[in-house]
Each structure stands twice: as structure tokens, then as C-alpha cells.
């Protein structure tokens, strides 16, 4: 029987850990600029990075969270998200860009007392369009089931943990929520390889917004390109 590799929530991780994780800071070659949305020009939100086996690289995905639903962030080609296939070594954290409303926040802070400032800081962290509210370490778990849904169900029943602790799937064959939307490589024109499926995770407050659906990351390793989309 074929098996499925699940990505399972494994506690927290350092924001710059050089491992497969959801949230935190993206690692990239020195000098890489934080990506922006084609539609609204705001900074994209870093979603996850996946360290691929065999030194094949690090796939990182970003998505616009500035005005959800307005920038076609579900599309692999509309510019509301970005995916990158970085080399496996020599990566450093990309510096955080300024928030679009930083100046307004500073003016408001001048009129607030210390307690109000603390509350506002907490709200800013919750509403940060650049980062998720938590950093989740990921464990790879091999399950002797050929399909993703059946593997996730079997793992949950065996481990006694909630199904939402399954953060996705690594490799294998994608199970699409809608039609097959395998993206074509912008370089060579061929269909990209499926790399991973991602779920929103156990906590809706700190989760990426996939419209209560699932996201799919693909790559063309010969061309060094990647793509990202989600369905619901």
C-alpha cells in the first residue's frame, strides 16, 4: 500500500529556525526584498517555508493579507501571493518591512497612556499583515494510507490528536478541493511538481486565511521557480 507524508503540528519554533515551519520570518539569500502585492502594493504575509529533501532547496510562500478577498490571493498568477524556491544554504532572515500605517500608529501612541499603549501593541501583533500570529514547528509523519484525507483521519484516530493538528501533506499526489489547478511554470511552460498541501491549522486566530480551504505549493526545480494557490 502506498503511504502519505503528513505535516503535523509539533509545537512552537524559533521565528528564524532553518526548518520546515509555518509562520515566523522567511529565510532567503542575503539582499532579498520582502515581496509586495501586485494589486495593493502592500507587504505580503509570510506563510510557511518547506525544507526539501536532498538539498533541493527551500520553498517559501507569501500571501496578501492587507484586504482579504480584494487581491485574488488565491490565484497562482494574479500577484496576490508569491512562492520562491531558494537554494538550500546561505539563507538569512529577510528584514521585516514597515507596516503601511506605522506613522498613524505613532501619532495615536503619543496620545495614549502606558496601559493603552500595551493594549494597542497587542492588537498590532494580532493584526500584523506581514506575519502570522504563531510559529508552528512541523513534524513529518508517514502514514500507510494512499490518500491525504484517509491518512489524516487515520493519524488522528491513532494519535488521539485533533484533525486540525494536521498542517498538510508533503509530496505525493494532491487531492484538490475543486478542479485540478496544477500551475504551469512561467519559465519552461511545463506543469509544476506538487510539493505540499497546507491547512489553516489548529488556531483560527493565528492561522493563514485560505477561506477555510487548503493551499497548494508547486515548484519547477530545473527552472528554480515556484507557485502557490488555494481552494475552498
What pLDDT sits at residue 17? 97
In whole angstroms, how far apart are CA 51 and each of 99, 113, 154, 174, 182?
28, 44, 25, 18, 21
Axis crossing angle, helix 114-126 with helix 102-110, rounded to the nearest 10: 160
Ordered domains of the chain (ranges, CATH): 4-96+131-231 (2.30.320.10), 103-129 (no CATH)
Q: Hey, is 86 helix, strand or coil? A: strand
Whole-model pTM: value is 0.88
What pLDDT sits at residue 107? 47
In whole angstroms, how far apart are CA 149 and each of 8, 120, 162, 176, 198?
14, 40, 14, 11, 13
What pLDDT sits at residue 99? 86
Spell out the per-residue pLDDT of the chain, length 232, in tens.
Answer: 589 999 999 999 999 999 999 999 999 999 999 999 999 999 999 999 999 999 999 999 999 999 888 999 999 999 999 999 999 999 999 999 998 775 445 445 554 544 444 444 444 445 799 999 999 999 999 999 999 999 999 999 999 999 999 999 999 999 999 999 999 999 999 999 999 999 999 998 889 999 999 999 999 999 999 999 999 9
Amino acid at each position: 500500500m502506498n503511504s502519505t507524508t503528513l505535516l503535523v503540528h509539533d509545537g512552537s519554533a524559533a521565528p528564524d529556525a532553518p526548518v520546515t515551519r509555518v509562520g515566523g520570518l522567511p529565510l532567503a539569500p542575503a539582499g532579498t526584498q520582502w515581496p509586495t502585492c501586485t494589486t495593493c502594493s502592500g507587504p505580503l504575509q509570510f506563510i510557511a517555508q518547506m525544507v526539501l529533501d536532498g538539498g533541493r532547496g527551500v520553498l517559501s510562500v507569501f500571501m496578501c493579507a492587507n484586504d482579504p478577498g480584494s487581491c485574488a490571493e488565491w490565484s497562482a498568477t494574479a500577484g496576490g501571493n508569491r512562492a520562491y524556491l531558494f537554494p538550500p544554504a546561505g539563507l538569512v532572515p529577510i528584514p521585516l518591512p514597515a507596516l503601511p500605517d506605522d506613522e498613524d500608529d505613532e501619532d495615536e501612541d503619543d496620545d495614549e497612556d502606558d496601559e493603552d499603549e500595551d493594549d494597542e501593541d497587542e492588537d498590532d501583533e494580532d493584526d500584523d499583515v506581514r506575519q502570522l500570529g504563531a510559529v508552528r514547528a512541523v513534524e513529518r509523519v508517514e502514514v500507510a494510507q494512499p490518500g491525504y484525507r484517509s491518512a489524516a483521519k487515520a493519524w488522528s484516530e491513532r494519535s488521539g490528536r485533533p484533525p486540525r493538528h494536521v498542517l498538510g501533506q508533503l509530496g505525493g499526489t494532491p487531492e484538490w478541493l475543486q478542479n485540478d489547478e496544477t500551475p504551469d511554470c512561467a519559465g519552461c511552460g511545463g506543469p509544476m511538481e506538487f510539493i505540499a498541501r497546507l491547512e489553516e491549522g489548529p488556531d483560527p486566530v493565528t492561522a493563514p486565511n485560505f477561506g477555510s480551504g487548503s493551499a497548494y505549493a508547486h515548484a519547477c526545480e530545473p527552472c528554480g521557480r515556484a507557485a502557490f494557490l488555494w481552494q475552498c
